[in-house]
């Protein structure tokens, strides 16, 4: 089982390769990542280990809702074969298989936790380390390659946005980088609250907060701010006077310092309160999602058949860049679930998360409350980008939740 643990944590470590750890294959737009490969090995070795050892796989009741979502995803894909070309349905099935692979992390982590091979605290340490490396790589990108449309090597030629002067990191997207770093900041805050010597955690929090600010991702800013607000509301009575001051002050001072030194921060913040170009594109994406829902409201169009359907309904966004990486999906995770698996799929998906919230709140310990606040913040973020189905973030929450569930 220690080999499985090593491979699983290796999959987490593969996050630091980002888009550079992907390997394209024959299907248009298709790619397999190093993280996918590591998790596939984890699943294969888990099956072999269970077969050889004769151990029974332990499955918490909550996992039945994940299985139910797999089934609805498969059914919606089968129904989509009647209206969509077979190659498009097959392409969508690859995304369903990826979701199954990543959600199995919950079950595998749960069993490793039950066997005392993996602990939630150990997982948190690894995730903080990986998040810190991602932030550091983001700063290096911002220094040496701040614009993605340099004429000598333009990433815009490969379908990426130009992202002028934004910390995009190895994900090559400041929004997803900001969301992932916000999750890391949440874990650092968890450590900061419980630490006797807070200096190193406070410095790390400031480092991560600065990285998040420099993504200029308003959805990431909202995620971090909402997490802190929710966490403080939950734990206010348990905080010492110093903690009530230090946590909000560290983030506020960092934000204000950047705002005073960098006018662009203020411009982005004001832009979030008006309907700028980014907001218009997002509204168009939401409208596209609602239009696609009409095609098959109960079962959807098949898991991640969005690209083909949007093209046929002429719903591609009117981005000035017109790039494939930002135009093929929808800027809302819940809309993705609704359009691809229908009302039935959305209900099952939400039941799973409601059960997660209930389980974490019943325990009433600090890590449970921290995760509730992080997941709520992630849900807010996911209404502006499809962060709930971004593979590194899926691995993040399935791994943490599976390990934590084993301790209850």
Return the pLDDT at 320: 42
Segment (H or E) for 107? helix 86-114
Neighbouring CB atoms inside 10 A of 226's CB total 19
* Residue bearing the bigger pLDDT, 276 or 183: 183
pLDDT band at residue 310 using 50, 70 and 90 as cut-offs:
low
CA–CA separation, 149 and 159 (whole Å): 11
Segment (H or E) for 164? none
User: Is the full-model pTM beyond 0.85?
Assistant: yes
Residues with Cβ within 8 Å of 184's Cβ and at least 6 positions away in sequence, in order, are 127, 128, 130, 131, 132, 134, 135, 208
Return the pLDDT at 178: 97
228 secondary structure, DSSP code? H
The overall average pLDDT reported for the chain is 86
* Residue bearing the bigger pLDDT, 238 or 25: 238
- For residue range 341-357, list pLDDT tens digits in order: 999 999 999 999 999 99
Q: Identify the top-confidence range among 22-31, 86-95, 266-275, 371-380.
A: 371-380
Closest CA to 334 of 278, 297, 386: 386
Q: Is the pLDDT of residue 326 over 60?
A: no
Average pLDDT estimate for 295-305: 82
CA–CA separation, 325 and 17 (whole Å): 18
CA–CA separation, 213 and 224 (whole Å): 10
CA–CA separation, 354 and 85 (whole Å): 36
Give the pair of three-digit tokens for residue 179.
Answer: 């969301």
In a 13 Å sphere around the CA of 67, the CA atoms on its Cβ side amount to 7
Return the pLDDT at 146: 93
Q: What is the phi-psi region of residue 202: left when phi exceeds 0, alpha when psi lies from -120 to 50, beta otherwise?
A: alpha
- For residue range 64-119, list pLDDT tens digits in order: 999 999 999 999 999 888 877 887 788 778 889 999 999 999 999 999 999 999 99
Q: Say if CB 109 and CB 396 are below 8 A apart.
A: no
- The percentage of residues in the chain with a pLDDT greater than 70, rounded to a whole number, is 87
- For residue range 158-212, list pLDDT tens digits in order: 878 888 999 999 999 999 999 999 999 999 999 998 888 889 999 999 999 999 9
Q: Say if CB 389 and CB 349 are below 8 A apart.
A: no
Q: Say if CB 179 and CB 394 are below 8 A apart.
A: no
pLDDT band at residue 319 using 50, 70 and 90 as cut-offs:
very low
Give the pair of three-digit tokens for residue 176.
Answer: 């997803």
Residue 80: alpha-carbon gap to chain centroid: 27
Give the pair of three-digit tokens for residue 19.
Answer: 């888009």
pLDDT band at residue 280 using 50, 70 and 90 as cut-offs:
low
* Residue bearing the bigger pLDDT, 272 or 115: 115
Average pLDDT estimate for 366-385: 94
* Residue bearing the bigger pLDDT, 143 or 309: 143
Closest CA to 182 of 224, 240, 232, 132: 224
């Amino acid at each position: 089982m220690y080999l499985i643990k090593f491979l699983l944590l290796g999959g987490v470590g593969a996050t630091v390769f980002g888009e550079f750890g992907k390997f394209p294959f024959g299907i248009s737009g298709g790619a397999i990542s190093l993280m996918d490969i590591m998790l596939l090995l984890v699943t294969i070795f888990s099956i072999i280990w269970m077969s050889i050892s004769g151990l029974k796989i332990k499955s918490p009741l909550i996992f039945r809702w994940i299985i139910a979502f797999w089934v609805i995803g498969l059914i919606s894909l089968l129904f989509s074969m009647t209206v969509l070309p077979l190659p498009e349905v097959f392409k969508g099935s690859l995304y369903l298989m990826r979701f199954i692979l990543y959600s199995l992390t919950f079950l595998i982590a749960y069993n490793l936790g039950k066997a005392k091979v993996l602990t939630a605290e150990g997982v948190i340490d690894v995730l903080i380390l990986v998040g810190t490396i991602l932030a550091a790589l983001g700063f290096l990108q911002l220094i040496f390659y701040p614009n993605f449309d340099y004429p000598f090597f333009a990433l815009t030629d490969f379908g990426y946005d130009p992202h002028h002067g934004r910390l995009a990191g190895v994900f090559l997207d400041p929004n997803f980088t900001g969301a992932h770093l916000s999750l890391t900041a949440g874990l650092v805050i968890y450590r900061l609250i419980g630490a006797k010597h807070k200096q190193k955690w406070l410095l790390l929090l400031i480092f991560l907060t600065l990285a998040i600010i420099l993504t200029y991702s308003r959805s990431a800013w909202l995620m971090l701010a909402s997490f802190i607000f929710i966490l403080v509301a939950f734990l206010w009575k348990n905080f010492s006077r110093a903690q009530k001051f230090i946590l909000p002050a560290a983030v506020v001072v960092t934000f204000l310092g950047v705002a005073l030194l960098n006018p662009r921060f203020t411009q982005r913040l004001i832009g979030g309160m008006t309907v700028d170009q980014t907001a218009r594109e997002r509204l168009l994406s939401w409208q596209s999602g609602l239009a696609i829902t009409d095609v098959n409201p109960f079962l959807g169009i098949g898991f991640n058949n969005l690209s083909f359907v949007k093209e046929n309904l002429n719903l591609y966004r009117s981005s000035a860049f017109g790039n494939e990486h930002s135009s093929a999906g929808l800027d809302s995770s819940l809309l993705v679930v609704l359009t691809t698996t229908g009302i039935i799929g959305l209900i099952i998906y939400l039941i799973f998360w409601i059960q997660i919230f209930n389980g974490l709140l019943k325990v009433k310990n600090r890590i449970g409350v921290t995760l509730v606040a992080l997941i709520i913040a992630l849900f807010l973020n996911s209404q502006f980008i499809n962060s709930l189905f971004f593979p590194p973030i899926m691995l993040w929450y399935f791994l943490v939740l599976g390990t934590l569930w084993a301790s209850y």
